Structure 1
Amino acid sequence: MKLSNIYVLAISLSLAFACSQKQTQEPIQEEINLMIKSEKVAEHNGQPVFHYVLDNGTMQVELSNFGGLVHKIITPDKNGNKENITLTFDTVEEFLTKPNPFFGATAGRVANRIAKGKFVLDGKSYELARNNGDNHLHGGVEGFNKKVWTPETYSNDSVVGVKMTYLSVDGEEGYPGNLKTTLWMELTTDNTLRIRFEAVTDQKTILNLTNHTYFNLGGVKRDVLDHEFQFWADAYTPVNEELIPTGEVKDVTGTPFDFRSPKNLGEQIAANGEGFDHNMVMKLEKSDEMKHFVQVKHPESGRVMDMYSDNMGVQFYTANFVKDFQGADRKTYDKHWGFCLESQIWPDAINHENFPSPILNPGEKYEHTIEYRFSVEK
C-alpha cells in the first residue's frame, strides 16, 4: 500500500529579457518554476523510502534515498516532446525487491571491479565478496546501492535537490573504517543534473564512488547504436577476459577507443567486438578542474548530453550484459539499450601502483562532482 506523505516546495522566478528585433517591442517574460515533490512510498529495514521529483519547468529528475538512486530523467526532444531517457523500473518500490544491473544507483564503497576481491593496505590483507565471477564489483553483495540514505531536501534560486547521508560502519562488506558519505543530487535552472560526493573516514580505507545511470537519449525505444559520442580522452586502460585492467595505459590512436572526434557508437562497437566496458583516461593527475569528459548526441531526437567531472576517469559501459530485461513502461531492455558514463578513479586501482590511489586517510576529505548537462539541437 502506498503511504501518503507528500511534501511539495515550489519556487517561481520571473526572468525578463528584451528582444532586440524591434525597438518598441515589449520585454518577453519567461517563467522558471523550481519544484521539489517528496513522497514516502515504502519502508525498508525500518527506514522510510522516499520518491522525489525535481522539476525546473523544462525537465524533471526523479530520485530516491534508497540506493542514492536516479529513478528517471525526463527531458524534451527537439519538438518539445518529453520522455524518460533512463533504463529503470516504473516505481521506486520495485527496486526494493527486484534484482537489476545497478540502474541509476550510487555504487560504493568502491565502484567497478577489484581483482579476486582482495587488496592490501598497510601490510594487512582484506577479503571482499566475489560477486562478479571471481571478482568484487560495485561495493559487494549489499553495497551503497541497497542502503537507505538519510535524506533532506533543499533549494535556492538556482537549484532544487536532495542531500543524503550514509554511515558505512567499520567492516561493512569487508572494508575498514567508519565512513560517512554525503551525497547531493540537484537540478539547476539551466538543465544540469549535478551529483556531488563528500566522505570522511576514521581509519585508512579505500573509496571510489560513482553514479550508475543507464542513459538512452532516444527515449528508450531501441538500442543506442545510433548515438554519437565524443570523449576528450587520449588513453584508456585495457582489460583482460574478466574485465580487470591489465595495468597498461594505452594511447587511443588507431583503436576503436578513439572518440576524440564524434563517432557513431554502432560503428565503433562493430570495430571493437562485443561493446565497451572500459575506463577512459580523462586525467593523469588529480585536480579540482571540472573537465568536459563526454558529449553524446542523438540526432533523431536532437537531445544532447554533456558530461563534466573533476575525477580522473570514466567507465564507458554499453549495457553488454543486459538481455530480455523487463523494465519500465512494459519495455524489454536488451543488449546495448543504454550506456553508462561512470565518473571514477580507475578500476582496481588499489592493485596497480601506476594507477591513481583510491586510499582515503583519516583527516582527509573525499570530494567528487559529476554534471550531466542536457540540451537540444534542432
Structure 2
Amino acid sequence: MSVLKLSSEPWGRSPAGHDVRRFTLASPTAEVRVMTYGGVITGVRTPDRQGVWNEITLGHDTAAPYFDRATASFFGALVGRYGNRIEAGRFVLDGETFTLPRNDGPNTLHGGPEGFDQHDWAAETREDEAALSLTLTRRSPDGEQGFPGALDVSVTYRLSADGTLDLLYRARTDRPTVVNLTNHTYWNLHGGRDVLGHVLEVPAEQFVPVRADMIPAGGPARVQGTPLDFRDARPVGARIGDDHEQLRLAGGYDHTFVLGGEPDAAGLRRAAHLREPDRGRTLEVWTSEPGVQVYSGNFLTGQPGRAGQAYTKHWGLCLETQHYPDSPNRPEFPSTRLDPGQEYRSHTRYRFGVAGD
C-alpha cells in the first residue's frame, strides 16, 4: 500500500472566472499544497523533532488574497517570465528593443504586474509508488507583459516518498525570448517568530552587489570579509544589522549568490541549507540554476496571513533559485535567452529534514 496520498478540492473562482483547485501532495514526512491559480505553493507542512506537524511557509487560508498582488505578496508564487528585476523595463534582443510594464519603481519585477502568478494554469496529476506529481501548464502569448514569443510552459511539483520536493520547469518558444522562472516561497521553519534565528549556509564564494534600485552594480564580488559570507553556517540575524552598504541598500539580505562547484548526477548544485534550532526542522536546496536569491523578508510590513497572523519584517526567508537579475541587459552574465527549437529546463530540489538537539 502506498504511503503517498494525492487529493484536490475546489478553492474558489479566479478573477477570469475559472474554477480554482488546490491540490495536496502528502508523504509521511511532508505535505505540499499547490493551487492552479498562479502555480502558488499555498503551504508546506512538516514535523519537528518532537513529531509535531506545523506550517513552514507564509501564505493565506483562502484563495482570494492571492488574486491581488497587494495581498498576495508573492507568497509561494510561480514567478515568470522573468524572476527578479529588469532595468528600466526594457531589453534588446537581436537589435529589437522590448518594453515591459514597470512595477518596481523604474524597473520591471517578477515578470511585471500581471506575471505568471496572476494567471490560471491547467493541471494534470500522476501517482505511483515512488512519487506524486502535479504538472501545471499554460501558454503565455506573444507580447504578454511585453515579452516576445508565445511561450509554452510546464511546471511539475513532484513529492517523493521520502518527502523530497522537486520543481521541474520546462518551456518552449516560437520566437527568441528571455526566460527566468523561479518559486517565491517564504520559509519559516519555526512559524511562531521571525527567521533571524534560523541558521543559514550558502556555499557561494561570490554574490551580485546591487544599487539603491536593486539593479546589479557591476559584476559579482567576493563574499569574504562581508556580512554576506554564509559559507560557514550562522544565524540569519547575526550580521543583518551590520553597517554595510549592501545591507543598507536592501534593508537586509536581498542578493543573488553565485553558485559554484561540480553538479551531482542529477545536474544539481547545493544552493542553501537552513536550520531552525528550536524545533529542529531543516531545509536543503539544490538547483540547476547558477544563482540563489536570498531575501530576508525586508519589505514585509504586517501583511495579514494565516489565522490572522501579521507577517512583519523578517518573518520569512526566500531562497529563490534563478539566473542573475537584469541578465538580458548584461551579456557578461549567464544567458537567459531561449530560441525556437530549444527547451528551457530548470530543476530545483527541496529536502526537508529534522536535526538533533
TM-score range (shorter-chain normalised) is over 0.9
2:353 maps to: 375
Give the aligned residue type for 1:184: T
- Which of 15, 22, 28 aligns to 1:51? It is 22
Aligned length, in residue pairs = 347
Q: What percent identity do the matched residue pairs reach?
A: 39
The answer for unaligned runs of 5 or more in structure 1 is 1-11, 14-32
Query: Which structure 2 segments of 5+ residues have no match?
Result: none
Q: CA deviation at 1:188?
A: 1.0
**Residues 286-320 of structure 1: CA deviation (Å, up to 9, x unaligned):** 99721111100011010010000011001110010
Instruction: Give the superposition deviation at 1:186.
Output: 1.7
Corresponding position: 1:161 with 2:138: no
State the match for 1:239 in structure 2: 210
Q: 1:354 is matched with which residue?
A: 332
Aligned to 1:21: none
Which residues of 2 match residues 22-37 of structure 1 at below 5 A? 33-37=3-7
In structure 1, what is the equivalent of residue 78 of structure 2? 106
8 Å contact 1:34–1:159 — kept in the other structure? yes
2:12 maps to what in 1? Answer: 42
- Which residue of structure 1 aligns with residue 59 of structure 2? 88
> What is the TM-score of this pair, normalised by structure 1?
0.89
Shift of 1:255: 0.8
Q: Is the 8 A contact 2:255 2:293 kept in 1?
A: yes
The residue type paired with residue 110 of structure 2 is: H
Identify the match of residue 259 of structure 1 among 230, 233, 243: 230
How far residue 285 of structure 1 moved from its aligned partner, in angstroms, is 10
Equivalent residue, structure 2, for 1:277? 254
Question: Is the Cα contact below 8 Å between 2:263 and 2:269 reproduced in 1?
Answer: no
Task: Pick from 34, 38, 43 the counterpart of residue 67 of structure 1.
Answer: 38
- TM-score scaled by length of structure 2: 0.94
Alpha-carbon separation, structure 2, partners of 1:286 and 1:139 = 28
Mean Cα deviation higher: 226-235 or 36-45: 36-45
SS of the aligned residue for 1:229 comes to strand
Deviation digits for residues 215-240 of structure 1, max 9, x if unmatched? 00112x11100010111111001000
Paired letter, 2:96: K
DSSP 3-state at the match of 2:4? strand
1:1-378 equivalences under 5 Å are: 12-13=1-2, 33-44=3-14, 45-97=16-68, 99-219=71-191, 221-271=192-242, 272=244, 273=247, 274-283=251-260, 289-378=267-356
Cα distance in 2, alignment partners of residues 124 and 353 from structure 1: 15
SS at match of 2:238: helix
Which letter does structure 2 place at the counterpart of 1:308? W
Greater fraction of residues in strand: 1
Coordinate RMSD, CA, aligned: 1.6
1:286–1:311 contact (8 Å) kept in structure 2: no
Give, in angstroms, the shift of residue 99 of structure 1: 2.5
What whole-Å deviation, never above 9, does each CA across 1:340-373 have from its counterpart, x for those lacking one?
0000011100111210111000000000011110
Q: For CA contacts below 8 A with separation 6 or more, give which structure has more relative contact order.
A: 2
Could you list the runs of 4 or more consecutive aligned residues of structure 1 that deviate by over 4 angstroms after TM superposition?
284-288
Which amino acid is the alignment partner of residue 213 of structure 1?
Answer: T
Q: Secondary structure at the match of 1:99?
A: helix
The alignment partner of 1:347 has SS state of: coil
Letter of the 1:277 counterpart: D
**Kept in 2: contact 1:111–1:210 (CA 8 A):** yes
Aligned to 2:226, what secondary structure does the other structure show?
coil
Q: Aligned AA for 2:18?
A: Q
